Amino acid sequence: MERTENLADIVAVVCRDMQAHLGLGRVADYIPALARVDPRHFGIAVVTCDGRTACAGDADVPFSIQSISKVFTLTLALDRLGAPLWNRVGHEPSGSSFNSIVQLEREKGIPRNPLINAGALVVTDVVLAGRDPAAAIAEIAAFMQARADDPAVSVDPEVAGSEEQTGFRNASLANFLRAFENLQNPVTDVLEVYFNQCALRMSCRQLARAGLFLAHGGIDPRNDAKVTTPVRARRINAVMMTCGHYDASGDFAFRVGLPGKSGVGGGILAIAPHRAAIAVWSPGLNASGNSLVGVLALERLAALTRWSVF
């Protein structure tokens, strides 16, 4: 039996229970602009397919969505290329860190999945095809505004610039991919789009709204917009479940049991299929690079709602 009669109460309980943990974990500091964020933030937003919204804590404070953007560019790239996208990027968990280069060499330039950096760069290359970087960035931002139903969603130029100046690993991955002919656009263009998509600023409320189509077979239940096909929505959820938390995706499935994608800004988007989209944010990361308090909060929410898919 489900116990979501009073979703607002459940979300308030989760937020209250997290107070004791605030500040735990380490804020990502390899992107200098992220290192300054106060680790004691916590926000949560749940948006349901039947039109309810429940928020608590810093649910309206925007943060850097970072790798969560990979879910949305994957949606756009599948729309462009369809199933042949999977010839250029796999759909297996990587078992290594999000920015690992070793695996890419062994597997001849075909990244394991679209949610690690190498795979996301290939996806961004597909989104960029036939456009200049500025147009591709504008298109991604417009997609996020439409999904979040909020024109205030935008790219933080300081974070994008900060990442551009320090993103030597991403530049290495992109050059490597290009050497294997798995990037078609110039490396600098792909990186520019990638850094800007990662630098999108969104609140938990905006992010949960933006992800709702994934809980509803690819259709936005608020206006019946067909964002993607039911099959693609299922595939994206499957990849989020198996690959969305870097090398701790198994642990997330074990503890939470929902498709999810984390970002080093401390956000996590989780999908309860046919029920809701959930966004949490708390900047302190655990050793695997996932929001420490964010995972705890989702674990608590999944227990209280019994929304685990297992």
Q: Which sequence positions are flagged as catalytic?
A: 67, 70, 194, 246, 264
Element containing residue 103 per DSSP (H, E): helix 102-106
Q: How far apart are CA 124 and CA 129, in angstroms?
A: 9
Say whether residue 228 binds ligand GLU (CB under 6 A).
Answer: no
CB of 131 to ligand GLU, least distance (A): 21
DSSP letter, residue 202: E
How many residues of this chain interact with ligand GLU, rule: CB under 6 A?
10
Say whether residue 93 binds ligand GLU (CB under 6 A).
Answer: no
Site of tokens 């010839």: 87
Contact 276, 47 (CB under 8 A): yes
Cβ proximity to ligand GLU, 72 vs 98, nearer residue? 98
Q: CB neighbours of 28 closer than 8 A, spacing ≥ 6?
A: 34, 35, 264, 265, 266, 283, 285, 289
Two structure tokens written together for 293: 């308090």
Say whether residue 98 binds ligand GLU (CB under 6 A).
Answer: yes
- Position 35, amino acid: A
Say whether residue 263 binds ligand GLU (CB under 6 A).
Answer: yes
- For ligand GLU, which residue of 117, 182, 185, 282 counts as binding (CB under 6 A)? 117
Say whether residue 237 binds ligand GLU (CB under 6 A).
Answer: no
Please tell me the number of Cα atoms within 13 Å of 32 on its side-chain side.
Answer: 7
The pattern of x and - marking residues 140 through 179 that bind ligand GLU according to CB under 6 A reads -----------------------x------x---------
Say whether residue 198 binds ligand GLU (CB under 6 A).
Answer: yes
Say whether residue 220 binds ligand GLU (CB under 6 A).
Answer: no
Cβ proximity to ligand GLU, 117 vs 185, nearer residue? 117
Of 50-89, binders to ligand GLU (CB under 6 A) are: 66-67
Cβ proximity to ligand GLU, 163 vs 220, nearer residue? 163
Contact 105, 71 (CB under 8 A): no
Q: How many other C-beta atoms are found inside a 10 Å radius of the C-beta of residue 251?
A: 14
CB of 106 to ligand GLU, least distance (A): 21
Residue 279: strand, helix, or coil: strand
Question: Which spans of this chain sit near ligand GLU (rule: CB under 6 A)?
Answer: 66-67, 98-99, 117, 163, 170, 198, 263-264
